[in-house]
Structure 1
Amino acid sequence: MVFAALGLLTGLYAGLAKLGFLEDVNVNIPGGIHGPLMINAFLGTLIGLERAAALEKRWTLSGPFLMALSVVFMLFVNLPYGSWLFTTGSFFITLTLLYICFIQPKIYHYIMAMGSTALFIGNLLFAMGAPVFEVVIWWLGFPVLTIFGERLELNRIMRPPKKAQWAFVAFIFMWVLGTVLLHVNRVHGWHLVMVATLASALWLIKYDIARRTIKSVQWTRYSAWCLISGFGWLILTAVFGLIYGLPTAGPIYDALLHMVFVGFVFSMIFAHASVIIPSLSGKIIPWSRYFYLPLVLLHGSLFIRIAGDFLGLYEIRSIGSWINVLAILMFLIGIWVLIFKKNES
């Protein structure tokens, strides 16, 4: 968990460096490793650790261990070595997910395994020298498919009709097919991914348990707001993605990726933190209304950032980016402070 936190903090730093900030700070973390650090060092380590903790088998810790070790190599030793360690770590995380499929052959486990496989393919392409704009769709699949699988698993309580469940599975296979097609025809592949994203988001809004739990209290209600707002960002991503396509670089490229990685993925992280952190650390996070502040800042600043991208206003985009980082740090600091106070008492 310490190395996952290190991956997050250095990834955020690299993101600001990529935007041209922090040039006077004497810390050698290039902006080009922002994506690999956020996807692998942070999400890969955290999700891999969560799966390993659930299984309680030592060999499953090899994936998150290699992800954690790769942070050190990427930052302080050698970038290519770090890339291959990411790749190897994601391979073992995929093996862990496939093992879960073997002992519990449920469709939602297969969907999560597809997510880790997407991470492995993306890392392998990156380590072999593929440009990031070709790799990023595979990296995108890791958190998106993992979360889709988790939501389908949790939504067993809602008992959606069998036809609806299979429709959701069909949307996910459409997502994977579009990802593969992207390497043959970038326009058609991306459009297929966006149609699948839109259909999946609308399905989740209709059938996800968040529709019920939003009437609850404390963490449960807060998580529901995080989930629904995250689904909203997926819808916006799909709409703008269908209109503008996926450029290989530039402000539209930045906007579309951050709608997913910040708007959707971090909403899910905020939603599940009260469950994930206690399961890994044994520390309960006390509830506080304070957590609505970083959530509102996260979404508000992302709107500012996206507006800056689409309007071509670099200063506006920069303000939104800084507040994005601030919102994430405020959420983490709030968790740390409340846990510390609870332990003191």
Structure 2
Amino acid sequence: MQAFQFSNKLLAGFMAFAALGLLAGLYAGLIRIGYLTEIPINITGGLHGPLMINAFLGTLISLERAAALEKRWTLSGPFLMAASVIFMLFVDMQYGAWLFTAGSLAVSATLLYICRIQPKIYHFIMAMGGISLFIGNLLFVLGAPVFEIVIWWMGFPVLTIFGERLELNRIMRPPKKAQWAFVGLIAIWVFGTLLMHFTRTHGWHLVMITTFATALWLIKYDIARKTIKSVQWTKYSAWCLLSGYGWLVLTGIFGLIYGLPAAGPVYDALLHMVFVGFVFSMIFAHASVIIPSLSGKIIPWNRYFYLPLLLLHGSLIIRIAGDFLGFYAIRSIGSWVNVLAILMFLGGVLVQILRNRSL
């Protein structure tokens, strides 16, 4: 019993570093849009992407995998990712970048190990997500501009989630042809990512076509279509999942129409459709399972959680409207409320855990 408690405390400690990475990343994002000023601990607008992808998502996802395997060496991934947070914020960005690159290599090794012991297609898809992160990070430390590598960073959460949803949707028993179609879409997605280094436009179009098609596949075959009729966390998760898939559909449509510029409002809109609209919807959807599995703390249900979800989507619509219409003040308001929605969700989780402890 004592060892179990220690394990939960250790995992909760890593989660604290992920939370630090998230908070710092959100702050950097507000600096990036010109709303906050830089502070003396190295938080700059340029850190927004690395902090959100590596310090937050990298630490959290690698920790989840390490906890599932219960092998000490797999903690090297979250350890290096967590250490990169400290180095990025308090020491030097370059050292932090090499740490999260090493961390992503360790994460990839963990995911490939899972493929070896359980060679299932969904595990291979998740492993491709880890490898995508490593490639993006390696290119980053070698000096590649962010607009060239962001597609690799995007692949980490997107492919991880695709693999997880394929695994969880086995209960729906999609037809074999549908399952192979899903695998084919993932293969084309990865090929499109590679192709972007040779012909950016054609590669991006392939990625967007497969993003659109994969989202439709998930809407059709995901168990969320059934669980949306359930109650409490199960119903809430279904709403999060389906709304997240909706953002992927929109990403595919707008991505095909506008392409992917190297910077600017369209670039901002497309990336945040994925990273906020899709990825954070998935985080909201799975938080009631992931946090208890890592911390040992149950999150009691409360209808309050619909409020940050609605704010997340509503503010993202405002942000994207500001991007496409050129109303940058509106975009800034949407960005602020994006951050507020995420903080409200995290605050709600913390309050519910503390209230449950006091009962």
TM-score by length of 2: 0.95
Matching of residue 115 in structure 1 with residue 129 in structure 2: yes
Between the aligned partners of 1:33 and 1:49, the Cα distance in structure 2 is 22
Between the aligned partners of 2:204 and 2:51, the Cα distance in structure 1 is 24
Q: 1:139 to 1:19 in 2, by over 3 A?
A: same
- In the TM superposition, residue 118 of structure 1 has moved relative to its aligned partner by 0.1
SS in 1 for 2:105: helix
- In the TM superposition, residue 23 of structure 1 has moved relative to its aligned partner by 2.0
2:191 to 177, 180, 183: 177
2:94 to 80, 95, 98: 80
- In the TM superposition, residue 27 of structure 1 has moved relative to its aligned partner by 5.4
- In the TM superposition, residue 181 of structure 1 has moved relative to its aligned partner by 0.1
Structure-2 residue corresponding to 1:244:
258
Structure-2 residue corresponding to 1:146:
160
Structure-2 residue corresponding to 1:97:
111
Between the aligned partners of 2:65 and 2:40, the Cα distance in structure 1 is 37
Between the aligned partners of 1:27 and 1:230, the Cα distance in structure 2 is 34
**Residue-by-residue CA offset, 1:109-136 (whole Å, 9 max, x unaligned):** 0000000000000000001110000110
1:317 to 316, 331, 335: 331
1:160 to 156, 169, 174: 174
TM-score by length of 1: 0.99
Between the aligned partners of 1:274 and 1:88, the Cα distance in structure 2 is 30
Q: Which amino acid aligns with 2:196?
A: L
**Residue-by-residue CA offset, 1:275-323 (whole Å, 9 max, x unaligned):** 0000000000000000000000000000000000000001000000000
Between the aligned partners of 2:210 and 2:98, the Cα distance in structure 1 is 31
Between the aligned partners of 1:34 and 1:22, the Cα distance in structure 2 is 13
Between the aligned partners of 1:27 and 1:62, the Cα distance in structure 2 is 25
Q: Which amino acid aligns with 1:168?
A: F
Matching of residue 65 in structure 1 with residue 79 in structure 2: yes
SS in 1 for 2:324: helix
Structure-2 residue corresponding to 1:231:
245
Provide the alpha-carbon RMSD of the alignment. Answer: 0.8
Structure-1 residue corresponding to 2:147:
133
Q: Which amino acid aligns with 1:319?
A: I
Between the aligned partners of 1:23 and 1:273, the Cα distance in structure 2 is 31
Count of matched residue positions in the alignment of Structure 1 and Structure 2: 345
- In the TM superposition, residue 21 of structure 1 has moved relative to its aligned partner by 1.4
Between the aligned partners of 1:120 and 1:85, the Cα distance in structure 2 is 11
Percent of residue pairs identical = 79
Matching of residue 272 in structure 1 with residue 263 in structure 2: no
Return structure 1 stretches of 4+ with deviation > 3 angstroms: 24-28
Between the aligned partners of 2:297 and 2:238, the Cα distance in structure 1 is 22
Is contact 2:31-2:38 (8 Å) kept? no
Matching of residue 201 in structure 1 with residue 219 in structure 2: no
1:333 to 347, 350, 353: 347
Q: Which amino acid aligns with 1:179?
A: T
Structure-1 residue corresponding to 2:271:
257
Between the aligned partners of 1:21 and 1:289, the Cα distance in structure 2 is 31
Between the aligned partners of 1:302 and 1:26, the Cα distance in structure 2 is 30
Structure 1 residues not aligned, in runs of 5+ = none
**Residue-by-residue CA offset, 1:242-296 (whole Å, 9 max, x unaligned):** 0000000000000000000000000000000000000000000000000000000
Between the aligned partners of 1:75 and 1:31, the Cα distance in structure 2 is 12
**Residue-by-residue CA offset, 1:20-73 (whole Å, 9 max, x unaligned):** 111286654100010000000000000000000000000000000000000111
SS in 2 for 1:23: coil
Between the aligned partners of 1:287 and 1:326, the Cα distance in structure 2 is 20
SS in 2 for 1:137: helix
Q: Which amino acid aligns with 1:313?
A: F
Structure-2 residue corresponding to 1:6:
20
**Residue-by-residue CA offset, 1:73-107 (whole Å, 9 max, x unaligned):** 11111111100001000000000000000000000
- In the TM superposition, residue 329 of structure 1 has moved relative to its aligned partner by 0.1
Structure 2 residues not aligned, in runs of 5+ = 1-14
SS in 2 for 1:191: helix
2:69 to 39, 55, 70: 55
Is contact 2:277-2:313 (8 Å) kept? yes
SS in 2 for 1:247: coil
Is contact 2:269-2:319 (8 Å) kept? yes
Structure-1 residue corresponding to 2:315:
301
Structure-2 residue corresponding to 1:31:
45
SS in 1 for 2:218: helix
1:219 to 230, 233, 236: 233
Is contact 2:266-2:323 (8 Å) kept? yes
